Structure 1
Amino acid sequence: MPDLLLELFSEEIPARMQEKASGDLKKLVTDALAENDVFGEAAVAFATPRRLTLSITGLPAEQPDRREERKGPRVGAPEKALEGFLNSVGLSLDECETRSDKKGEYYVAVIEKRGQPLPGLIGDIVPQIIRTFPWPKSMRWGEGSLRWVRPLHSILCTFDGEVVPFEVDGIKAGDTTYGHRFMGPAPIKVKRFEDYEKKLHDAKVMLDPALRARTIWEDAKNLAHAQNLELVEDEALLREVAGLVEWPVVLMGKIDERFMDVPGEVLSLSMRENQKYFTLKSADGKMAPRFILASNLIAEDGGAAIVNGNERVLRARFADAEFLWQEDKKKSLEKDFLPKLKDVVFHAKLGTVGEKAVRVSKLAGELSAFIPGCDKAKAEKAGLLAKADLVSGMVYEFPELQGQMGRYYALAQGLDAGIADAIAEHYRPAGPADDLPEGPVAQAVALADKLDTLVGFWGIDEKPTGSKDPYALRRAALGIVRVLLERHLRMPLRETAFANAMTIFTHSGFDWRGKGPAAAKDLLSFFADRLKVHLREQGARHDLVDAVFALEGQDDLVLIVKRVEALGEFLKTDDGANLLAGFKRAVNILKAEEKKDGRSFDGAVDAGLLKAPEEQALHAALESARSEAARATEAEDFANAMSALAKLRAPVDAFFDKVTVNAPEAEIRENRLNLLSGIRAATGAVADFSRIEG
């Protein structure tokens, strides 16, 4: 079956745009063909720095014939309406059919559309796609009107080996492409994708970006291995570099030893961001004085001049970084950098970063009591200095190094290693898979920083809405959830974390205007949602989290998760599933009768009115289960609390099988409803079973 080959050849396409652009080209063309009932067997798109390519195989030779029916006005409709309909379909009244429905007769236009040969259809579709291509940024050049990411030089378009004739802004489609800019610039005639790909490869162009990436990675690893070094993995950089070259040639350069005193993170980031070089490390894990680059040229001297030129550029980059490093080290975090934070606005309604630093310091000190091994004074010091490096020269140049540079400056000034680590790690975790802060001081500052942010934004009522979360508050809450759970920290959120943060805000002059309790309640609900997201990813049920959070005073996340886990295991058993069914039956009866009587049934059970053996047995079981579950819950032994509830299954089943709740005697009915209320109370010691699905 015929195939389509399309290439759009231009000046260099930015690497970051290539993957999406090739995907867009594939989707736009295949969607346009599908709208015309044309489908191929397979479509594949590629991008190099100078071209977008699309190949579609297994296409039909022509578009299939199509039959379209369009409903028209009623028979007897005004002449103007009928005339408009006929003009729109291009038929006469005699050529229309009449049909009827329950409202009467109406006209139907049956339009037979003969399919056109596919080259003609492609010639209509592709120019429109080129003219409206969704580049994030585009330009015009010369006197033409076409907009493209960079000047478009040629269009190659063949169908079944023959040129598809069309023109876009003076550029005629043909069967000619071009190889590598320097190593194969001559025109190349092609007919189909197979000879196109092969001839490009012969002209030093690797069409497939995945192949270019593999080539770069394998060659780089081999060069590193030859020097007993290890290549530092960087998928994003690899994809970007693969988009910068059409024929990658991997080379290794040297870093002057004088620069190796500058922190490795600085050197690596400078190479990555500015030069697109790969970092190497030695067997001891430290950064090696070497780098990897990908050239776009096979040089006659083996790349010596290319390496020399890149080393020269890198020396200039590193000299700037070295200067910033030396200048920053002359200054003190506390005496020089910290005072400047008063000029950095955190948020117009929440003050400066300097004010936030003071709040975080105080809060970290308060939270230290809940973190084993955490020194309060160190937590306060680390909290105060955590943001100080934001005004350093190095972080101004490389914002990604915030925290990391603070650690280096703290150590250079002789501060405690725990404080230095806390400065570096307090931003963690930055995502669901990111590392957590390690030491106790780092944990205290990380929690304090995120809590201060959350409580502050809740105080000014700027909360996430829908998909909008400009201040990354969901991420901050999830970070707190992860730190507390994965570090097993027993810290009540509402009573300790929120309360302390709010008090500190109040002492700093913030006016809660009486909204503090409501803000705390709403923030706890926000944490419940984050916890549900976190636990759902680990396979837990969200309704069980709701059931536990619904209990009064549940704000210890470690304890909540223990309850959720125990509850989940219990409900997997027959006893658990049947007890849940019995609970729901009891609650449904209670709801109906309470609504009917306009009162609640939660009074004490009168043992003297228990006549049936089954209700006597249930009463005894409830008394026993309630006390056992309460003792186990108090001891945080939730497995035993569930075991106590499991003993209710048989008496609950027997009660519903043998006992009529709505007895004719009013006092017996009320007593039995109070007994059912006991089921609700007994299970309520562990979770709110009404929130559990099933």
Structure 2
Amino acid sequence: MNELLFEIGTEEIPAGYIQPALAFMEQACAARFSELGLESGPIHTVGTPRRLTLCVEDLQSRQPDRRVEHIGPSKKAGFDADGNPTKAAMGFARSRGVAVEDLQVVETPKGPYLMAVEHVQGRETIELLPEILEGLIRSMVFPKSMRWANTSLAFARPIQWLLALYDGQVVEFEVEDTVSGNTTRGHRFMAPESFVVTGFAQYQERLQEHSVLVDPQKRRRQVISEVKQAVAGRTSEGEPVLHEGLVDTVTNLVEIPWGVCGSFDEKFLELPDEALITSMREHQKYFPVQDRNGCLMPLFVAVNNTRIEDRDLAVAGHERVLRARLEDGLFFFNEDKKTPLARRIDALEGIIFQQKLGSMKEKSARIARLAGMLARELAPDLEEDAVRAAWLCKADLLTEMVGEFPSLQGVMGREYALLDGEKPEVALAIHEHYLPLRAGGELPTTLLGAIVGIADRIDTLTGCFAIGEKPTGNTDPFGLRRQALGLLHIISGLNISLSLKAIVGYALKGYGELLGHEPDEKIVDEVLRFIRLRFTNDLVASGTRSEVVEAATSVGFDDVVDCLARIRALDGIRSQEEFTVLAGSFKRIRNIIKDNTETAVDPDMFVEEAEKELYQVLQEVQEAVGPLLEKREYKASLRAMLRMKEPVDRFFDQVMVMAEDPAVRQNRLNLLTALGQLVLQVGDISKMHVEG
């Protein structure tokens, strides 16, 4: 069967490390097999907190013989004027184990070079596997690794055993005094003994017999089942809140799940739902329970890693731990309510936003200024509420609840604002200005929340670029890429038409003397280029063709909503044959007119019928397209422009643009420039032309 089974047995690995480690094992093995010329069937990975396991089906039993070509020095460097080999040629031949007379001369893009052909005899797979598997262990990277005893190996947790079988035979190797074998271990407490393994199917069956569900998907389903059963055993009125992230975490905290349902004092329901859920989920990994109306009940579910013999005792232990957490949360909540958000604003002076960009109080003032400007442009009746929400949006950073649970920033701001008597719209905007929290996350539901969120992100982007704190390579300490994507998703998701250049310029002026220099228009351009790059990458990653995005953004990106409308129009028409031909002609037009910007055309100077016809059609299209462009009906505009395809073809067939008469030549250039400027109001379609 030629099956490879490899298990790394360890101490308990953190839950968040397991899936990335399994993905690495699969990818690294596939790459290594390909490098060695070994073919294989499907590669599977499974794992628990105590094991990372790889299974490869139908792994080729022997490496094929290979012909490897090695390029050496150039022919000029390898042979002298008389054709005798130089030291360079002899050294190259010797390094490759061939005679110098066996060297070949091959043509490369750089000219003739020497080549040595090496015939490599394939090795048995069982001989290659020790090096492959040890290399896999040593190359694995974790967010945090550790060394133990006197070992030099860094790994997530100490390695306790190694299982390595190929075609039922032990792959013999050793890593830091741990020798591979044919045994694995069951559940640490419920079935700790070792047992012999013969293959992957038997491995999974025997582990289940020893209280280990090694398949993460199967274990995940069992976690959900246990949680639901635990609630059903306690009440028929409730159901668990199955947060996907928590289910994933719990799945990788246990080798086999056992759920129990406990309760807590109803007084804790006074806490906001998010605070109560976060307290259970983040610290204790407990699942909340809600009734049929979606209201939280004073119940929770804990998932254990061992079978529960005395459920009452287990439940009491979980309840005692959770009670302490909830008492803290309720105390923080009650203390926070004593100080309204508005009275916390001055204290924001003590929180530094960025050393060169001032305090959070100064940032709040800038956000308020920007939010007011945006509201005046988008919805003047919201200006007062936008400024109020912006002033208050960071005040909850000083609360005890946010200090304990940073993920509740904005959420607690909303709750405290409501308790303070602020308008519900203002309270909701305080929460929503943080949205989206991640790519693809929930967007603000209100324009007020969107305005404050846009102002916050623009302020951060502009300030960081102004002081030179730009993302480089893999470093982005202020999360500016995420900030830009969030900004774009808010604008596009809520269809908010605004001038990015205007608001970035306004934001830059808002920093005043804090920057130590006058506002520089180059900074505005840099911020816009950065946002545009995020916009382009995001669209291309989601499936939009890059040339379509480039065609639209290259002629204008100031208004994201407008740019998206032009992209959709261009993408919808690009497959039409007439458009493909027009795009090719437009590319020719762009090359001919170059830097000409004049569009004044004198019909009396036309000589050829083709140029008269093109001018006539251009005037008709301009008249038809003008109102469509004003309404941003770009699809209809492009369809109207397709009328110019045949007149343009005839123009190029029958008219010499670069006529000897300078006046005639300029008139024809102006005609083409006018045509080009019409098309450029939608996009530079020359970028969508593909040479045949």
Q: The TM-score by the shorter chain falls in which range?
A: 0.7 to 0.9
In structure 2, relative to structure 1, the CA distance for the partners of 1:521 and 1:36 (3 Å cut) is closer
Question: Contact (CA 8 Å) 1:373, 1:440: kept in 2 or not?
Answer: no
Alignment-derived partner of residue 513 in structure 1 = 518
Instruction: Indicate whether 1:44 and 2:44 are aligned.
Output: yes
Moved more, 561-570 or 387-396: 561-570
For residues 76 and 612 of structure 1, the distance between their equivalents in structure 2, rounded to whole angstroms, comes to 69
Question: Contact (CA 8 Å) 1:254, 1:291: kept in 2 or not?
Answer: yes
Deviation at 1:399, TM superposition (A): 0.6
For residues 372 and 471 of structure 1, the distance between their equivalents in structure 2, rounded to whole angstroms, comes to 30
Question: Contact (CA 8 Å) 1:550, 1:687: kept in 2 or not?
Answer: yes
Aligned counterpart in structure 2 of residue 349 of structure 1, from 356, 359, 365: 356
The alignment partner of 2:242 has SS state of coil
Question: Contact (CA 8 Å) 1:357, 1:387: kept in 2 or not?
Answer: yes
Number of residue pairs the alignment of both structures matches:
674
For residues 574 and 200 of structure 2, the distance between their equivalents in structure 1, rounded to whole angstroms, comes to 59
In structure 2, relative to structure 1, the CA distance for the partners of 1:286 and 1:675 (3 Å cut) is same
* Identity, % of aligned positions: 34
Which letter maps to 2:11? E
Which letter maps to 1:672? R
Alignment-derived partner of residue 613 in structure 1 = 609
Alignment-derived partner of residue 402 in structure 2 = 395
Instruction: Indicate whether 1:454 and 2:457 are aligned.
Output: no
Instruction: Indicate whether 1:21 and 2:30 are aligned.
Output: no
Alignment-derived partner of residue 561 in structure 1 = 564
Alignment-derived partner of residue 509 in structure 2 = 503
Which letter maps to 2:419? A
Alignment-derived partner of residue 494 in structure 1 = 501
Moved more, 485-494 or 125-134: 125-134
Alignment-derived partner of residue 327 in structure 2 = 319
Aligned counterpart in structure 2 of residue 231 of structure 1, from 228, 232, 240: 240
Aligned counterpart in structure 2 of residue 187 of structure 1, from 188, 194, 205: 194
Alignment-derived partner of residue 597 in structure 1 = none
Deviation at 1:64, TM superposition (A): 6.4
Alignment-derived partner of residue 75 in structure 2 = none
Question: Contact (CA 8 Å) 1:229, 1:282: kept in 2 or not?
Answer: yes
Deviation at 1:425, TM superposition (A): 0.8
Deviation at 1:392, TM superposition (A): 1.0
For residues 457 and 211 of structure 1, the distance between their equivalents in structure 2, rounded to whole angstroms, comes to 47
Deviation at 1:398, TM superposition (A): 0.7
Alignment-derived partner of residue 528 in structure 2 = 524
Deviation at 1:212, TM superposition (A): 0.9
Deviation at 1:284, TM superposition (A): 1.5
Which letter maps to 2:536? K
Moved more, 568-577 or 669-678: 568-577
In structure 2, relative to structure 1, the CA distance for the partners of 1:65 and 1:670 (3 Å cut) is closer
For residues 91 and 580 of structure 2, the distance between their equivalents in structure 1, rounded to whole angstroms, comes to 69
Question: Contact (CA 8 Å) 2:435, 2:486: kept in 1 or not?
Answer: yes
Moved more, 22-31 or 456-465: 22-31
Question: Contact (CA 8 Å) 1:96, 1:108: kept in 2 or not?
Answer: no
Instruction: Indicate whether 1:208 and 2:215 are aligned.
Output: yes
Deviation at 1:361, TM superposition (A): 1.3
**What is the CA deviation profile of residues 475-513 of structure 1, one whole-angstrom value per residue up to 9, with x for unaligned ones?**
323333333333233322223x2343233323x654442
Deviation at 1:58, TM superposition (A): 3.4
Question: Contact (CA 8 Å) 2:93, 2:103: kept in 1 or not?
Answer: no
For residues 535 and 221 of structure 2, the distance between their equivalents in structure 1, rounded to whole angstroms, comes to 40
**What is the CA deviation profile of residues 367-418 of structure 1, one whole-angstrom value per residue up to 9, with x for unaligned ones?**
1123337422221111111000111111111111101011111111111111
Question: Contact (CA 8 Å) 1:41, 1:59: kept in 2 or not?
Answer: yes
Question: Contact (CA 8 Å) 1:42, 1:56: kept in 2 or not?
Answer: yes
For residues 511 and 93 of structure 2, the distance between their equivalents in structure 1, rounded to whole angstroms, comes to 70
The alignment partner of 1:251 has SS state of strand
Which letter maps to 1:320? D
For residues 504 and 70 of structure 2, the distance between their equivalents in structure 1, rounded to whole angstroms, comes to 65
Alignment-derived partner of residue 583 in structure 1 = 586
Aligned counterpart in structure 2 of residue 379 of structure 1, from 351, 363, 386: 386
Q: Map 1:280-295; keep pairs closer than 5 Å.
A: 280-295=289-304
Instruction: Indicate whether 1:241 and 2:244 are aligned.
Output: no
Question: Contact (CA 8 Å) 2:584, 2:686: kept in 1 or not?
Answer: no
The alignment partner of 1:616 has SS state of helix
For residues 144 and 47 of structure 2, the distance between their equivalents in structure 1, rounded to whole angstroms, comes to 17
Instruction: Indicate whether 1:265 and 2:274 are aligned.
Output: yes
The alignment partner of 2:511 has SS state of helix
In structure 2, relative to structure 1, the CA distance for the partners of 1:154 and 1:443 (3 Å cut) is closer
For residues 82 and 549 of structure 1, the distance between their equivalents in structure 2, rounded to whole angstroms, comes to 56
The alignment partner of 1:427 has SS state of coil
For residues 273 and 197 of structure 1, the distance between their equivalents in structure 2, rounded to whole angstroms, comes to 31
Alignment-derived partner of residue 109 in structure 2 = none
**What is the CA deviation profile of residues 285-321 of structure 1, one whole-angstrom value per residue up to 9, with x for unaligned ones?**
22222222211222333x2221221111111111111
Deviation at 1:57, TM superposition (A): 4.1
Which letter maps to 1:50? R
Deviation at 1:193, TM superposition (A): 3.2
Unaligned runs of 5+ in 1: 595-599
The alignment partner of 1:405 has SS state of helix
In structure 2, relative to structure 1, the CA distance for the partners of 1:146 and 1:620 (3 Å cut) is closer
Which letter maps to 2:328? D
RMSD: 3.9
Question: Contact (CA 8 Å) 1:241, 1:294: kept in 2 or not?
Answer: yes
For residues 478 and 528 of structure 1, the distance between their equivalents in structure 2, rounded to whole angstroms, comes to 10
Which letter maps to 2:296? M
Using structure 1 for the length normalisation, give the TM-score: 0.85
Which letter maps to 1:235? E
In structure 2, relative to structure 1, the CA distance for the partners of 1:343 and 1:8 (3 Å cut) is same
Aligned counterpart in structure 2 of residue 625 of structure 1, from 621, 645, 663: 621
Moved more, 38-47 or 339-348: 38-47
For residues 577 and 88 of structure 2, the distance between their equivalents in structure 1, rounded to whole angstroms, comes to 73
Which letter maps to 1:181? R
Which letter maps to 1:53? T
For residues 278 and 552 of structure 2, the distance between their equivalents in structure 1, rounded to whole angstroms, comes to 46
> Quick check: which has more Rg, 1 or 2?
1
Which letter maps to 2:323? R
Instruction: Indicate whether 1:12 and 2:17 are aligned.
Output: no
In structure 2, relative to structure 1, the CA distance for the partners of 1:243 and 1:376 (3 Å cut) is same
Moved more, 165-174 or 450-459: 165-174
In structure 2, relative to structure 1, the CA distance for the partners of 1:49 and 1:429 (3 Å cut) is closer
Aligned counterpart in structure 1 of residue 285 of structure 2, from 276, 281, 284: 276
Using structure 2 for the length normalisation, give the TM-score: 0.85
The alignment partner of 1:291 has SS state of strand
In structure 2, relative to structure 1, the CA distance for the partners of 1:435 and 1:172 (3 Å cut) is closer
Which letter maps to 1:518? K
In structure 2, relative to structure 1, the CA distance for the partners of 1:195 and 1:385 (3 Å cut) is same
In structure 2, relative to structure 1, the CA distance for the partners of 1:59 and 1:558 (3 Å cut) is closer
Question: Contact (CA 8 Å) 1:528, 1:545: kept in 2 or not?
Answer: no
Unaligned runs of 5+ in 2: 73-77, 107-111
